[in-house]
Amino acid sequence: MKVVIMAGGQGTRFWPWSVKDKPKQFLPLMSKESMLQQTYSRFLKYLPAEKIFIVTTEEYLHLVKDQIPLINSEQIIIEPATRDTGPCMALAALHFLKNNDNEAFAAVPADHFIPEDSQFPEIFSLAENIAANSHAIVTLGITPTRPETGYGYIQVEEEVNEKKVLKVERFIEKPDLRTAKDLFKKKNIFWNSGIFIWKPETIEYYMKKFQPGIWGKLTKSGENLKTVYSEVPKISIDYAILEKADNIFTLPVNMEWDDVGNWSAWERLKRPKDNENLVQGDIHLLSANNCVINSFDRKAIVIGVEDLIIASTEDGLLVCHKSHEDKVKQVLKEIQARHDK
């Protein structure tokens, strides 16, 4: 089977470390390697290089080539614009179908933290067998370790067969804390990893059924793909297909996994043993407690504060109470909207 690494997002929740010109998948968040390099290396251990594809936008093509010099141009699928994961997966399916290639592939985000991946060969082999069935979609469900409001969830049928393949009953959007605590207590609930295994013709089938406008435009675009693609609606693959399809399965995976989506996630993974402040850069503290402080471009002095996220780069300065971190993306959208007027 193949792997398609999705590397076109803009990672605005990690501003100002992650910015439009160089979003988080191209940053060394967890090690000296970028998240994209870690993801590519993870699958290169199990698959030949010609089986690993990267889908990204034109503006990040140079970053992909700089960071993954092994990859051939034929292994890079270019999105003309950022339109979320729905059109992205449709474009990937079309890329393979045009070459009469219907081999199953795993769609994996470029920015997930997975320190131990020894289970992957067995998991993906089983997933490929399931995906070979008519219109079957396979997801990887992560065993929850805490009530988490930042992830989507998968609810499966109660019974587990001998191969640990579970039929998906429904997808649950990111919940509030009370709902997350209730979900955490249940045995048929998993985190949605955002990793999907399917055949290109399965995507074609569901796009025709649930998103005929998008699929029709893309298949008829011809030489006008760049113009047409920018006109299709932004929609996630979850809304476009997964929440509507009925032949979806989950393979439970009990491994360390994290969607490094924001400063809180980074803090959770990098938290010092003394459980005090998480600091990176030339920073001097006095009476500061439980803060995330990152200063890449200048010395900083932080006095008498707690529960703050403070990040300074050449692209900007963020000072945010941890309880309001979810508003960073919203504020950036408002700034961009004013700029576009």
Classify residue 307 as left (phi > 0), alpha (psi -120 to 50) or beta: left
Please name the amino acid found at residue 179. T
Pairwise CA distance, residues 155 & 177, whole Å: 17
Give the amino acid at 58. E
40-97 pLDDT, tens per residue?
Answer: 999 999 999 999 999 999 999 999 999 999 899 999 999 998 889 999 999 999 999 9
Q: Which residues contact 204 (CB under 8 A, 6 or more apart)?
A: 93, 97, 215
- Are 112 and 39 contacting, i.e. CB atoms less than 8 angstroms apart? yes
Give the C-alpha distances (Å, rounded to integers) separating 56 from 23, 61, 78, 90: 12, 7, 5, 13
Which residues pair with residue 155 across a beta bridge?
170, 189
| Both tokens assigned to 264 | 């809180």
pLDDT tens readout for residues 88-106: 999 999 999 999 999 999 9
The 8-class DSSP code of residue 8 comes to -
What is residue 52's predicted lDDT score, i.e. its pLDDT? 97
The dotted CATH code for 2-262 is: 3.90.550.10
Mean pLDDT across 302-326: 94
d(CA 119, CA 155): 22
Q: Decide: 218 and 204 in contact? Cβ < 8 Å.
A: no
Residue ranges matching CATH 3.90.550.10 in the chain:
2-262
Residue 317: its pLDDT value, please?
94
- State the pLDDT confidence band at 164, using cuts at 50, 70 and 90: confident
What separation, in Å, do the N-terminal and C-terminal C-alpha atoms of the chain show? 46
pLDDT of the residue at 69: 94
Quote the pLDDT of residue 159. 56
Q: Is 237 exposed, middle or buried (0-12, 13-18, 19+ CB in 10 A)?
A: buried
In this predicted model, what pLDDT tens digit does every residue of 257-298 receive, in sequence order?
A: 988 888 988 998 887 766 589 999 999 999 999 999 999 888
CA-CA distance, 101 to 26, in Å (whole number)?
29
8 A C-beta contact, residue 218 and residue 87? yes
Task: List CB contacts of 261: < 8 A, sequence separation 6 or more.
Answer: 11, 13, 14, 111, 150
Which of 157-166, 220-229, 239-248 is modeled with the greatest confidence? 239-248
Q: 73 and 62 in contact (C-beta within 8 Å)?
A: no
pLDDT recorded at residue 261? 84
Q: Using CA atoms, how far apart are residues 51 and 48, in angstroms rounded to an integer? A: 6
* CA separation for the pair 188, 116 (Å, rounded): 24
Cα gap 8→284, rounded to integer Å: 36
pLDDT for res 55: 96
Residue 160 pLDDT class (50, 70, 90 cuts): low
pLDDT recorded at residue 165: 85
Cβ proximity of 34 and 63 under 8 Å = no
**pLDDT above 70 coverage of the chain, percent:** 97
User: What is the torsional sign of CA 7, 202, 90, 143?
Assistant: negative
Query: Is residue 223 pLDDT above 90, yes or no?
Result: no
Q: Which residues pair with 259 in a beta bridge?
A: 112
Indicate the burial class of 333 (C-beta count within 10 angstroms; 0-12, 13-18, 19 or more): exposed
How far is residue 326 CA from its own chain's centroid? Answer: 17
Q: Please, what is the average pLDDT of the chain?
A: 91
